[in-house]
Amino acid sequence: MKGIQKKFFISYLLIGGIILSLFWLTQVVFINKIYSYYKINQLKNYSEKIVEAINNNNEMLLSELIDKSSARVIAISQNEILIVGSKGYGKGLGIPETLLHPAKNLKVVKYEHPFLHIEYLSIIRPFLYHGKPATLIMSIPIAAINDSVNLFKQVFWWIFVITLIAILSISVYMSKKFTRPIQILKNAAHQIASGNLNVKINYKEEDELGDLAKSMNTMVKQLSITDKFRKDLIANISHDLKTPLGLIRGYSEMLLDYYGDDKEKREKYLNIVIKETERMSKLVDDVLQLSKLQSGMVEIKEEPIDLEKLIFETLDIFEIQILEKNIEVKLDNLKLKVIADREMIKRAIINIISNAMASMENSGILTITAEPQDKEILIKISDTGCGIPQKDLEHIFDRYYKGNKSGTGLGLAIVKEILTLHGSKYEIESKEKIGTTFYFTLKAG
């Protein structure tokens, strides 16, 4: 037994020990006082009822009460005339003469028999008998109280042993019961740490540990997805970098070996090298940008932005593609102001338009519109491209996810992070062979 199981066991043992200690103090150390206090109160109650029975001349009730009290009872008048009890009863009990005279208040006294040396506990209750002072004396041997206490003490040790065994058994059982799910979670955590992401924790209890097990299962599931995406990313980046690097190397070697004066051929080789370098730069830039956004260290610098001017600047970047692919651009209601981080939102719009351009092969329509909504501006960017399959839509914002098996799968993940930082609402709708529309909101300027 070790660790938390040992702590649970010791805790239960300590609690049981404290309970037994309190029980022992109460029932063994203070039992004499407790039982004496109980007997005194019992005699007081009986004395009150006996006085009432004497005054009512109810001899049957009087006899019954004396029997139940298990005490020796005498009652004498002011003139030492015996009211209850037999003649010489007071002397037979060895009651001191001073106690036989009428008292003013109820008393509890202890005295010793002068000849038998037996200790008695007595209740001396004054009362009026036919309008004259009288005294009721109820006595029980203290030895009887001690015998009852000693009997209980003997029984107590048996109770103590049985209770101690029960506490030990319960402590072992409960410590194992509570630490079993913790051990399950610990083993699962070790397996996850060692790289096994196929772990499933089977713990169905509806408690805090059950919630932790569910959270760990969810975590493992997300880690599995992330690990798959990570592997895909490494494979994609390796492939995407290998191709331009091979081209750059090849054309660079051709330029080194080329001694001719053909300017057109030389420019062709150099343009290919530059294009592939830009492609590599874009890939590395996307990875760095996403990592930066997800680090939580990015602060947005919001400012009023002319939306129409920003869209025109962005479209200028795609001018060559728009002309080459014969794409028609439609703009509507863009003369609006928005509040945002200019460079970040520009990057997001570039990524959205880049996806739209990639989905349209030879021709198509790119539509960008804006619509005021309360304190926000709803921006729509639509294309008439190939569309996105329904199975890919729910993953479209996941990092590294590439539904069309091209690119790096980072573009829309970056868009998501940028819009989240701005507190924007965003959504995407798409139908295959019809087109895609991307919606997002920005604060109105």
**Main-chain dihedrals φ then ψ at residue 261, nearest 5 degrees:** -105, 15
Total domains present in the chain: 3
289/323 same-domain check? no
pLDDT of res. 427: 92
Give the domain-ending residue among 182, 198, 218: 182
Question: Do the domain assignments include residue 58?
Answer: yes
Question: Do the domain assignments include residue 119?
Answer: yes
pLDDT of res. 211: 77
d(CA 201, CA 205): 12
What one-letter code names the amino acid at 223?
L
Please list, residue by residue across 160-174, b when 16 or more beta carbons sit within 10 angstroms of its beta carbon and e when fewer do.
Answer: eeeeeeebeeebbee
212/308 same-domain check? no
Question: Do the domain assignments include residue 115?
Answer: yes
Q: For the domain that residue 386 is a member of, what is the CATH number?
A: 3.30.565.10
**372: β partners:** 377
289/256 same-domain check? yes
Q: For the domain that residue 258 is a member of, what is the CATH number?
A: 1.10.287.130
275/394 same-domain check? no
For residues 215 and 203, is the Cβ–Cβ distance under 8 A?
no
Question: Do the domain assignments include residue 94?
Answer: yes
pLDDT of res. 419: 92
pLDDT of res. 329: 93
pLDDT of res. 330: 94
pLDDT of res. 409: 63
**Which pair of tokens denotes residue 292?**
């930066």
pLDDT of res. 364: 92
Question: Do the domain assignments include residue 273?
Answer: yes
283/315 same-domain check? no
**364: β partners:** 327
pLDDT of res. 9: 66
137/272 same-domain check? no
What one-letter code names the amino acid at 65?
L
pLDDT of res. 100: 66
Q: Any idea how long the chain is?
A: 445
pLDDT of res. 86: 55
Which residues make Cβ contacts (< 8 Å) with residue 11, sequence separation at least 6? Answer: none
d(CA 243, CA 249): 10
d(CA 407, CA 354): 11
The whole domain housing 310 covers 303-444
225/276 same-domain check? yes
Question: Do the domain assignments include residue 201?
Answer: no
pLDDT of res. 342: 92
3-state SS, the chain, equals CCHHHHHHHHHHHHHHHHHHHHHHHHHHHCHHHHHHHHHHHHHHHHHHHHHHHHHCCCHHHHHHHHHHHCCEEEEEECCCCEEECCCCHHHHCCCCHHHHCCCCCCEEEEEECCCCCCEEEEEEEEEEECCEEEEEEEEEEHHHHHHHHHHHHHHHHHHHHHHHHHHHHHHHHHHHHHHHHHHHHHHHHHHHHCCCCCCCCCCCCCCHHHHHHHHHHHHHHHHHHHHHHHHHHHHHHHHHHHHHHHHHHHHHHHHHHCCCCCHHHHHHHHHHHHHHHHHHHHHHHHHHHHHHHHCCCCCCCCEEEEHHHHHHHHHHHCHHHHHHCCEEEEEECCCCEEEECHHHHHHHHHHHHHHHHHHCCCCEEEEEEEEEECCEEEEEEEECCCCCCHHHHCCCCCCCCCCCCCCCCCHHHHHHHHHHHCCCCEEEEEECCCEEEEEEEEEEC
Q: For the domain that residue 37 is a member of, what is the CATH number?
A: 3.30.450
pLDDT of res. 394: 78
Give the domain-ending residue among 182, 197, 228: 182
Question: Do the domain assignments include residue 202?
Answer: no
For residues 58 and 66, is the Cβ–Cβ distance under 8 A?
no
283/344 same-domain check? no
d(CA 155, CA 158): 5
Q: What are the tens digits of pLDDT across the range 19-42?
A: 777 766 666 666 667 778 888 898
d(CA 123, CA 95): 12
User: Angle 411-421/263-294 helices, nearest 10 degrees?
Assistant: 40
Query: How many CA atoms within 13 Å lie on the side-chain side of 118?
Result: 16
259/321 same-domain check? no
d(CA 252, CA 277): 12
> CA of 398: how far to CAs of 69, 164, 236, 316, 429, in Å?
87, 60, 15, 28, 16
253/105 same-domain check? no
β-pair type (107-112, 119-129): antiparallel
264/376 same-domain check? no
pLDDT of res. 162: 79
35/68 same-domain check? yes
Question: Do the domain assignments include residue 153?
Answer: yes
- Ordered mean pLDDT values, 10 residues apiece, the chain (445 residues): 61 72 66 78 91 90 89 82 65 63 78 77 88 87 78 71 77 71 75 74 70 78 72 64 69 66 72 74 70 70 93 91 91 94 91 90 92 92 90 73 57 87 91 92 91
d(CA 389, CA 421): 28
Give the domain-ending residue among 243, 262, 294: 294
Tokens 């000849």 correspond to 115
